[in-house]
């Protein structure tokens, strides 16, 4: 019995189920962890422009025309480099373009977006210097942007700054896989540090063995603990959220005593980190959230699946496609709750009928440029949609 543990996970259910009747509900209540937030490495939906503003036509062969052609070529090379994920190379080429033609707004915007993309990769680094460098990198990017695009980027950078400010005085500790950050003044956290890292390590080892990959080696993952108030403010998520993963695992923790569900929240978010690193960035939400819930415990209990099924009773059956994108777009909390329940149900159904390995192969499909549908058809011999329909019949009958 670990008497030192005095952390209490924040009340994480919108219906207040966490505290009263917790014993009864343990393992039944679907984790109220939130959908994966927009992964930071993605440059929002901003695409650099391939066509710098044409300048005044110059007589062919003139020095200015030669330079213009060269700039166009550098710009194109930069866009190609971005496509290949070579962001530093793209930044170097675009920097050259902007130095040669400082007045071209398209070139300035392209450089700004490349910097934003690079900063997005660095902002979740376990290395504090990298995170500081990320903020420096985006210092002037807003100058090159306009309108809605400027607003969206400003909001994103503001969120990064607010987190950095808040976490500036945080304690940090860690091992070769995780960097744990938390408010050292918060009661109980320092005493629980080793225990938390231990829990993360255990889950990591288990997942690594089950998934056949250990993606954090040489690439540590940040885990940040917040007070419930700070979590809400810094993530913009409701008080009901149990945790979030956006490149960093973020968990709200309340002082007072450790909650029995902390393990499942850490396991849930850690699954998202595995999926982010192994799934090729295109894993559909139903599979990402389904797997994250499936792995919250070593084995999903039949009681929990029953509760998931019950929560969907009488509700319209969604299409698998409609569950492909972030659940937060589904609208009300009931719809989101059902989306989680049905995703867990389908993941468990697939694992039960075709094996856990098949589910993991579906998750890894994106990394090879394929999709869950293609992998399922190739391995099982019929459409994933037919399995979805079969589960629907099953859920309606029982």
Binding site for Zn ion (CB under 5 A): 33, 289, 292
Nearer to Zn ion, 193 or 289 (CB): 289
Residue 147 CB, nearest distance to Zn ion (Å)?
32
Residue (8 or 270) nearer to Zn ion, CB: 270
CA-closest candidate to residue 328, choices 392, 240, 252, 248: 240
* Residue among 167 and 289 whose Cβ is closer to Zn ion: 289
Nearer to Zn ion by C-beta: 32 or 364? 32
| Cα three-residue angle 312-357-398, rounded to 5 degrees | 25
Q: Which is nearer to Zn ion, 33 or 347 (CB)?
A: 33
- For the CB of residue 130, give the shortest distance to Zn ion in the complex, in Å: 25
How distant, in Å, are the alpha carbons of 16, 200, 255, 279, 298 from that of 263? 19, 8, 16, 23, 11
Nearer to Zn ion, 289 or 361 (CB): 289
Least distance from Zn ion to the Cβ atom of residue 293, Å: 7
HEC-encoded secondary structure of the chain = CCCCCCEEECCCCCCCCCCCCHHHHCCCCCCCCCCCCCCCCCCCCCCCCCCCCCCCCCCCCCHHHHHHHHHHHHHHHHHHHHHCCCHHHHHHHHHHHHHHCCCCHHHHHHHHHHHHHHHHHHCCCCCHHHHHHHHHHCCCHHHHCCHHHHHHHHHHHHHHHHHHHHHCCCEEEECCCEEEEECCCCCCHHHHHHHHHHHHHHHHHHHHHHHCCCCCCCCCEEEEEECHHHHHHHHCCCCCCCCEECCCEEEEEEECCCCCCHHHHHHHHHHHHHHHHHCCCCCCHHHHHHHHHHCCCCCCCHHHHHHHHHHHCCCCCCCCHHHCCCHHHHCCHHHHHHHHHHHHHHHHHHHHHHCHHHHHHHHHHHHHCCCHHHHHHHHHCCCHHHHHHHHHHHHHHC
Nearer to Zn ion, 160 or 245 (CB): 245
Q: Which is nearer to Zn ion, 33 or 235 (CB)?
A: 33
Query: CB 48 → Zn ion: shortest distance, Å?
Result: 31
> What is the closest distance, in whole angstroms, from the C-beta atom of residue 12 to Zn ion in the complex?
12
Q: How far is the CB of 281 from Zn ion (least distance, A)?
A: 16
Kindly tell me which of 137 and 308 has the beta carbon lying closer to Zn ion. Answer: 308
Shortest Å, Cβ 350 to Zn ion: 18
56, 85, 363 from 97: Cα distances, Å: 17, 19, 40
Closer Cβ to Zn ion, 78 or 253, answer by number? 253
- Which SS3 state, helix, strand or coil, does residue 6 take? coil
User: Smallest distance from the beta carbon of 155 to Zn ion, in angstroms?
Assistant: 22
- What is the Cα–Cα distance from 170 to 275, expressed in whole angstroms? 28
Q: How far is the CB of 241 from Zn ion (least distance, A)?
A: 10
Give me the least distance between CB of 117 and Zn ion, in Å please. Answer: 24
């Amino acid at each position: 019995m670990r008497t030192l543990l005095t952390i209490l996970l924040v009340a994480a259910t919108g219906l207040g189920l966490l505290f009263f009747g917790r014993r009864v509900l343990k393992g039944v209540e679907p984790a109220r962890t939130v959908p994966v937030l927009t992964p930071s490495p993605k440059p929002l939906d901003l695409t650099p422009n391939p066509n710098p503003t044409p300048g005044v036509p110059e007589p062919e062969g003139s020095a200015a025309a030669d330079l213009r052609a060269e700039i166009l070529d550098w710009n194109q090379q930069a866009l190609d480099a971005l496509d290949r994920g070579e962001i530093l190379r793209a930044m170097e080429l675009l920097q050259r373009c902007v130095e040669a033609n400082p007045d071209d707004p398209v070139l300035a915007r392209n450089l700004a977006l490349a910097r934003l993309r690079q900063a997005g990769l660095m902002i979740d680094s376990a290395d504090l210097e990298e995170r500081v460098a990320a903020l420096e990198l985006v210092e002037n990017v807003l100058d090159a942007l306009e309108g809605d695009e400027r607003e969206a980027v400003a909001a994103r950078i503001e969120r990064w700054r607010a987190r950095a400010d808040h976490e500036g005085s945080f304690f940090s500790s860690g091992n070769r896989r995780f960097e744990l950050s938390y408010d050292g003044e918060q009661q109980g956290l320092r005493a629980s540090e080793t225990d938390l890292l231990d829990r993360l390590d255990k889950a990591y080892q288990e997942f690594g063995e089950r998934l056949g990959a250990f993606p954090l080696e040489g690439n540590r993952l940040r885990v940040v603990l917040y007070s419930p108030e700070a979590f809400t403010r810094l993530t913009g998520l409701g008080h009901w959220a149990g945790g979030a993963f956006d490149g960093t695992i973020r968990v709200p923790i309340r002082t007072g005593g450790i909650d029995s569900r902390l393990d499942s929240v850490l396991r849930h978010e850690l699954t998202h980190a595995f999926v982010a690193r192994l799934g090729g960035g295109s894993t559909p939400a139903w599979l990402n959230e389904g797997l994250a819930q499936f792995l919250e415990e070593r084995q999903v209990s039949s009681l929990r699946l029953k509760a998931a099924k019950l929560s969907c009773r009488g509700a319209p059956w969604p299409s698998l496609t409609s569950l492909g994108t972030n659940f937060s777009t589904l609208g009300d909390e009931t719809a989101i709750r059902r989306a989680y329940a049905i995703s867990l149900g389908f993941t468990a159904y697939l694992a039960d009928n075709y094996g856990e390995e098949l589910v993991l192969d579906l998750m890894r499909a994106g990394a090879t440029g394929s999709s869950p549908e293609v992998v399922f058809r190739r391995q099982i011999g019929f459409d994933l949609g037919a399995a979805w329909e079969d589960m629907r019949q099953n859920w309606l009958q029982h």
